[in-house]
Structure 1
Amino acid sequence: MSASAPVPPVAARNPTDRRIFVRATLDLGDVLLRPWGREAAELEAMLDGLVAAAGDPLIARWNPFPAADRTKAMTWVELREGGWDRGDAASFAVLGAADRTLLGAVGLRWVDRADGLAMIGYWTLPAARGRSVATRATCAVTDWAFATADARRIEIAHAVENEASCRVAHRCGYLPEGTLRESHQYGDGAYHDEHLHARLAADPAPAGLAV
């Protein structure tokens, strides 16, 4: 499935087929959200950025993934590409519009596709931090999922110590719903309590988002 393949309007599709993530590029002006894939024009920069991201201490702790070299980074990209092919996961590279350098990533996947329940996650490289890149990208993917894939509820779960991720969740209108005790094993090998946030399709859009 190519990024330019025509997609019928949601209303014209079978209701059982509405909850499919279809490749799209989201243009935020100075930032582009591009589907991960082997055919991406920016693939070389993406691979180099992934290797750098995998070695960043904060990413290695809170969002670890195996990309110690270009070969492993390509394997990671191919797995993200498979999610797009199946329509059950939407993984975006966050790129600088001017130079196409990798700034971060946003990933969305179905938790319960039939029920419209999805989960979203994100990370940014050091050069993108403090610039609202994660907030803007996460808001854009959230709105896109509600508008095009019939998502009903999207959740964010992050380690309670990850205050930066918590700020992004709040700024994107994801309301706090509680603490999940020893919910997930992170890159340090320990199980951490997580804060659970969620946003419903019916919730109002967040106000005052910095652009």
Structure 2
Amino acid sequence: MTDPGGVRPGPGVKLRVRTGGGPARLPHRGTCRVDPGRTAAATLAGRGRAGRAQRLREPEIAQWNPSPGGTDLPGALDWIRRRADWSDGDHASFAVCRPDDGLLLGSVSLHRIHAGDASIGYWTVPAARGQGVATRAVQEVTAWAFPQFGLHRIELCHAVANVASCRVAERAGYPAEGTLRQSYRYGDGRRYDEHLHARLVTDV
């Protein structure tokens, strides 16, 4: 997801995570503090029905992180339900929150967790972009996910047109591996070429 301009979120970022089996603590590293708490889905759920759909309608999020169920209220509710349910063990979603007041800044999610592989994605709200929030959050979830799920490889894909997301991937330690031609249909209904990045557990 993009990470251009915005207001500085404060000295630290708190990632709040809850698994289907109860709270789980992620490691604290640098300015990114990770504590048990609510998922991004639960954070959105507490902001009222209109607010749920509004987040998904933000232009950058709607384009580069489209909700499969759409951006109307039923689609937003379905998104919240799916992100909050970790019971299948094939995905995990995290809220990225400002540490002083718990304000939601974004989300990081792991998808397609299977046989040592996974994919990672992320988005940030407009006010949190351009300050390294997404980069720190991706680094933190990555460091936790490798031992937690016994992963060997995590892939990160973004549209070639989404230049800001490419910067996040590189700064988070995901080197580019190639280009996937017209590999994904984004929010405007068009297929875009994507850059494939990946990180191995053996990468330093």
Q: Contact 2:96 / 2:104 at 8 angstroms: preserved in 1?
A: yes
Structure 1 window deviating more from structure 2 (185-194 vs 94-103): it is 94-103
Q: CA deviation at 1:175?
A: 0.8
What residue is the counterpart of 1:3 in the other structure? Answer: 22
Query: 1:145 aligns to what SS in structure 2?
Result: helix
Q: CA deviation at 1:74?
A: 3.2
Q: Contact 2:105 / 2:125 at 8 angstroms: preserved in 1?
A: yes
What residue is the counterpart of 1:60 in the other structure? Answer: 62
Deviations 1:148-167 (A, max 9, x none): 21110000110001011100
Query: 2:22 aligns to what SS in structure 1?
Result: coil
Deviations 1:59-100 (A, max 9, x none): 11111123434x543321211122x11221011111112222
Extract unaligned runs of 5+ from structure 1.
Answer: 5-22, 205-211
- Tell me how far apart the structure 1 counterparts of residues 135 and 182 of structure 2 sit (CA, whole Å): 26
Aligned length: 181
Extract unaligned runs of 5+ from structure 2.
Answer: 1-19
What residue is the counterpart of 2:181 in the other structure? Answer: 181
Q: Contact 1:106 / 1:122 at 8 angstroms: preserved in 2?
A: yes
Task: Report the AA paired with residue 77 of structure 1.
Answer: I
Task: Report the AA paired with residue 117 of structure 2.
Answer: L
Q: Contact 2:32 / 2:140 at 8 angstroms: preserved in 1?
A: no
Query: 2:193 aligns to what SS in structure 1?
Result: strand
What RMSD in Å do the two structures reach over aligned CA positions?
2.6
- Tell me how far apart the structure 2 counterparts of residues 37 and 128 of structure 1 sit (CA, whole Å): 15
2:94 corresponds to 1:75:
no
Task: Report the AA paired with residue 172 of structure 1.
Answer: A
2:95 corresponds to 1:93:
yes
- Tell me how far apart the structure 1 counterparts of residues 26 and 44 of structure 2 sit (CA, whole Å): 13
Q: TM-score, normalised to structure 1's length?
A: 0.75
Query: 1:104 aligns to what SS in structure 2?
Result: strand
What residue is the counterpart of 1:190 in the other structure? Answer: 190
Flag the 1:26–1:96 CA change in 2: closer, same or farther, 3 A.
farther
- State the structure with bigger RCO (CA 8 A, min sep 6), 1 or 2: 2
Q: CA deviation at 1:122?
A: 0.4
What residue is the counterpart of 1:147 in the other structure? Answer: 147
Structure 1 window deviating more from structure 2 (90-99 vs 156-165): it is 90-99
Q: CA deviation at 1:101?
A: 1.7
- Tell me how far apart the structure 1 counterparts of residues 169 and 203 of structure 2 sit (CA, whole Å): 14
Task: Report the AA paired with residue 86 of structure 1.
Answer: D
Query: Aligned ranges for residues 1-211 of structure 1 at < 5 Å?
Result: 1-4=20-23, 23-24=24-25, 34=37, 36=39, 40=42, 43-45=45-47, 50-65=52-67, 66-69=70-73, 72-82=75-85, 84-110=86-112, 113-114=114-115, 116-204=116-204
- Which entry has the higher C-alpha Rg, 1 or 2? 1
Flag the 1:74–1:100 CA change in 2: closer, same or farther, 3 A.
farther
